């Protein structure tokens, strides 16, 4: 049996239950402190780290009686955060001491931020963390921890997308809880994309419950797509990049013209993503955004939801090296007069559905935008 000290997110009982696979009531938990240490948020992340800090103390939980399976599950989950176990001496409420192992981050891997609060974290990130952890732990025993660690940023983006989906306005009066029966749902594959399988029944238009269906969905986060437009010069900016799926299907021209786009990071708004991606991919500082709608990119096969924008700005230059270093992006941009852009649309040169949608939106609103310039 092993004894561990949890100072961070695993103090959140629903998360600990999910990771260990059993109720908190079955786990031996005792409040404890680790003196001369402090818990800080990790810069630009939604989880904490512990540091040596003379004169301070880190509050947490002493967890006793953990078996080999518990430790394996904890290491599998924490492996995505690059933490290692080290033994430390703790102080208990009655003043006694106890030794326990503590998850410490790899030195230099993370930069500490402000002092960390469990309550503030749970309010801001608790729901997302539970959704992400459910996907992570569903692969325990099936996928190695290194692959989960590589996939973890995408898993969190998918969790953020699930939260966003739950908040969307309903377009009908159907009672999903009554009209959809799920017999089995399974996370079948994990990487940058996920693949979920489900067996379900749904109520048909005649009021009867339909047969059991087996369906798959490519699971992804949500994206922001923005077409930069200069209403003074009446020009648009497109980007061109190699797209592996277009190549993989056998298309002879896998370099595609698109609008600027990017995945929405956890905690980020679609608007923030649109502004950020314009700078990263095209080196363009947009002045403001016009919302052009939101929709699922392919309702029958993918969970991806895209937020569409036309971004107004001064388009005076192009780039041949856009994108983020380390993400394999090789992007160039091209500025086109609006009329020539629409000739590309009518000539079937555009293969991106999002760009086609934005082209038609801009055609409808172009006079208004030019009049406001």
Q: Which of 245, 237, 217 is nearest to 355 (CA)?
A: 237
* CB of 302 closer than 8 Å to CB of 296: yes
**Positive or negative CA dihedral for 265, 271, 272, 277?**
positive
Contacts of 179 (CB under 8 A, 6+ apart): 202, 203
Q: How far apart are CA 69 and CA 66, in angstroms?
A: 8
Q: Tell me whether residue 78 is one of the annotated catalytic residues.
A: no
Helices (H), the chain: 13-20, 68-78, 118-138, 145-166, 176-179, 244-248, 270-282, 338-346, 353-372
Closest CA to 39 of 11, 3, 17, 19: 11
Instruction: Name the active-site residue from 304, 327, 339, 340.
Output: 327
Q: How buried is residue 52: exposed, middle or buried, by Cβ count under 10 Å (0-12/13-18/19+)?
A: exposed
Catalytic annotation, residues = 327
């Amino acid at each position: 049996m092993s004894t561990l000290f949890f100072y961070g997110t695993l103090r959140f009982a629903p998360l600990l239950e999910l990771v260990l696979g059993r109720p908190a009531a079955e786990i031996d938990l005792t409040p404890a402190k680790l003196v001369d240490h402090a818990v800080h948020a990790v810069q630009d992340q939604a989880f904490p780290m512990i540091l040596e800090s003379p004169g301070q103390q880190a509050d947490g939980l002493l967890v006793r009686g953990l078996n080999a399976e518990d430790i394996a599950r904890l290491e599998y989950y924490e492996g995505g955060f690059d933490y290692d176990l080290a033994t430390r001496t703790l102080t208990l409420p009655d003043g006694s001491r106890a030794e326990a192992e503590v998850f410490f981050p790899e030195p230099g891997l993370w930069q500490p931020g402000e002092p960390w609060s469990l309550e503030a974290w749970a309010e801001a990130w608790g729901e997302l963390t539970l959704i992400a952890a459910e996907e992570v732990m569903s692969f325990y025993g099936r996928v190695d921890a290194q692959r989960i660690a590589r996939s973890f940023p995408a898993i969190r983006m998918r969790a953020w997308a699930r939260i966003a989906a739950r908040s969307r306005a309903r377009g009908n009066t159907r009672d999903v809880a009554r009209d959809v029966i799920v017999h089995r749902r399974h996370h079948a594959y994990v990487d940058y994309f996920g693949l979920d399988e489900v067996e379900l029944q749904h109520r048909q238009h005649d009021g009867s419950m339909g047969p059991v269906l087996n369906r798959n969905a490519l699971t992804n986060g949500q994206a922001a797509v923005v077409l930069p437009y200069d209403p003074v010069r009446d020009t648009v900016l497109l980007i061109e990049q190699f797209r592996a799926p277009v190549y993989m299907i056998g298309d002879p021209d896998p370099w595609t013209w698109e609008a600027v786009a990017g995945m929405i990071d956890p905690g980020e708004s679609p608007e923030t993503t649109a502004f950020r991606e314009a700078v990263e991919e095209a080196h363009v500082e947009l002045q403001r955004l016009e919302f052009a709608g939101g929709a699922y990119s392919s309702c029958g096969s993918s969970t991806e939801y895209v937020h569409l924008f036309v971004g107004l700005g001064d388009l005076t230059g192009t780039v041949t090296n856009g994108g983020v270093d380390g993400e394999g992006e090789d992007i160039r941009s091209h500025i086109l007069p609006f009329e020539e852009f629409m000739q590309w649309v009518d000539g079937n040169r555009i293969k991106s559905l999002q760009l086609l949608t934005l082209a038609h939106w801009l055609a409808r609103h172009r006079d208004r935008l030019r009049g406001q310039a």
